Amino acid sequence: MYDCNPGSLCTGNYTCEVGYTGRMCADCAEGYFRAFDNCLECISPGGNIIAMLCMYALFVYLVVGLSRDMETIHLLMNFCQTLSIIALFNMQWPLIMEYIFNIAGILSFEMDIIQPQCATDNWGFAENLYIQLSYPAFFFVFQGLWVGAIYLAYRTKMKMDGKTLEDFSSADFTDSLARRSASGSQKSFTSQKSFGSANMEVLEVSGWWLFLQNYFHIPSSPQEMNEVILEKMSIPFMAFNLGYVVILKYCLQAFSCLDFEGTSYLYFDPDTKCYTPEHFEMMAAAGAGLILYIGGTWIMFIYVLYVLKKTKSFSKKRPLLLFGWMYERYESKFYWFELSVLFEKTVLVVVAVFIKTDPILQVVIMLIVTLATMLLSIKTSAPVDSTTAMLLTATEGVQMVIMVLGLIFYNAQVLDRTYTITTVIGSVALIGLLAALTVVFFVEVAFHIVITVLRARHKNVASKWGQDARLHTHMYRVFKPWFMFKWLSQAEPEDWLLWHRLCKLFHDSVHPTCETSYLSHEKAGHFWAYLINSFPEMLDFLASVEEVDRNEFVNVIDVMYEHYFDSAQTYKCQLNSVITDR
């Protein structure tokens, strides 16, 4: 006797719920398509499939492209993907929680949402598997074409300006721009004439035009072009990471068979017999996916992080542009934290696919793994952003609550009142956290748009002074978005001058590539990180005293750095003792 998953699909007397058909009611009836492991009624004719595919690809591209700049969307996607896998646990989830799981599954990047089964009757698990395996390649090809278009525009721009590659040195882009900025007329940077009508005209340019201009920037030098290539090609690698759960799920499902009356069937597609030529083709494709994509992801993470740690290159520009998404959201000493997230995802999918007949064991394993991840998150506070750290812990906590409640749903002897209360608790917890993540996400999107417009406006204004504002993009991440909005959204030319001077002043001390940045693994970086973490009031002191006092403070700090900051084993005790005594 085999239970349907969920049991509500089988209505008894060899009949299925509306929209379902086939063995164990695992197939979708005609006029229905499978999405988020449920059969939904087709709402689009076959001719709209291509248009929906393009829209979905654009949606995925935008989500992946934004995930590096906005912490919340990364959390939201991880949480939603986790819920889509938990939904596979045979816990007989209440209908409302199934709906929540399905809605959350939108960010799982499954191709089912484009309704391919509504266009052809021959679409099944195998076709979904092959499409999912082509998903990473699509991003590499698409991004390669995009970079190629930028390169053609760059060469055209150079040709129109009458420049060749010999006109540029082989020095780093930042250095070349700094020299170019320094060689510009200082008078043009400070004179009142530079704040005339031309600058006011720049300030009054449409915000949306500035927003688009910032995204469609054409490089001006070979060094800048190289950096654009690295930054743009990081997007396929991020897509690789964000699509990890779905690809792993489909690849493992191709190996999951179920014996039924002496015959083996594919558990997640019961109409397909196992160990047939068709199934061997699926297993070959899935095996290749596991080796190339899943194994490749782990090798990429471990090798890149190992090399960067060994060479202390986390804050170097080139690896930061291409692989910074792996570690830049975490404190430097917890650069490995994303590996723990990847491990949790892997265990979750493996448990959901291969321990499908023992839901209690599924929950026990996942409770242990999730608890370990949550304790690790609390212990390390790895995310740089405190809000992100809090939300990360909240998502892990809600996952544990949902799995504990799943044990109650699985118990057929539970009282109706207990079942109802449990359903309410689970639904409120899920809806509340998803709503909180969504609100924070849209707030981040709003600030992201505003900051992008401000950056483009800064760039246009600074260009009138012979300066390049792109050197100071990182400064827009140093200060809180609300502070930036209040100061610069209605800024006069004089305010932009003050902001630009502040950017130049802080460039060598807060830039991610500098020796004292939070990503630095150099001695100076560790020193300042622990000094500020231990004595945050020091910043208020430095901001309120005269320059003479600041210089005296710097002299004291230099002595402490040289003589009292010796090793990772002793620095903390010595540093706190010396400062406290003084």
- Residue ranges per structural domain of the chain: 145-174+201-326, 411-509, 522-582
What is the mean pLDDT of each successive set of 10 residues along the chain, which is 582 residues long?
Answer: 63 78 76 71 62 64 69 85 86 86 75 65 80 84 88 85 58 42 40 39 47 65 86 86 88 88 83 89 94 94 94 88 90 90 93 88 92 91 86 92 90 87 92 91 85 82 76 76 81 84 76 76 71 71 77 80 61 49 49
pLDDT at position 156, please?
86
The reported pLDDT for the residue numbered 349 is 93
Q: In angstroms, rounded to a whole number, what is the distance separating the alpha carbons of residues 28 and 16? A: 10
Q: What pLDDT, on the 0 to 100 scale, is given for residue 180?
A: 41
Q: How far apart are CA 551 and CA 568, in angstroms?
A: 27
Is residue 133 within 8 A of residue 201, CB to CB? The reply is no
- Structure tokens given for 469: 């504002």
pLDDT of residue 169: 46
Geometric angle at alpha carbon 332, from 562 and 499, rounded to 5°? 80
pLDDT at 572: 47
Counting Cβ atoms within 10 Å, is residue 130 exposed (0-12), middle (13-18) or buried (19+)?
middle
At 539 the pLDDT is: 67
Q: In this predicted structure, what is the pLDDT of residue 174?
A: 43
CA-to-CA dists, residue 512 to 98, 99, 198, 519, angstroms:
43, 42, 33, 6
The pLDDT of residue 170 is 41
Rounded distance between C-alpha atoms, residue 87 and residue 82, angstroms? 9
Supply the pLDDT for residue 559: 78
Q: What is the pLDDT of residues 32-91, one digit of tens each?
A: 776 656 777 776 655 556 656 666 666 666 666 677 777 788 888 889 888 888 888 888
Q: What interhelical angle do 277-289 and 244-253 show, nearest 10?
A: 150
Rg over alpha carbons for the chain, rounded to the nearest Å, is 28
Query: Which of 567, 445, 439 has its CA nearest to residue 65?
Result: 445
Q: Please tell me the predicted confidence (pLDDT) of residue 184.
A: 41
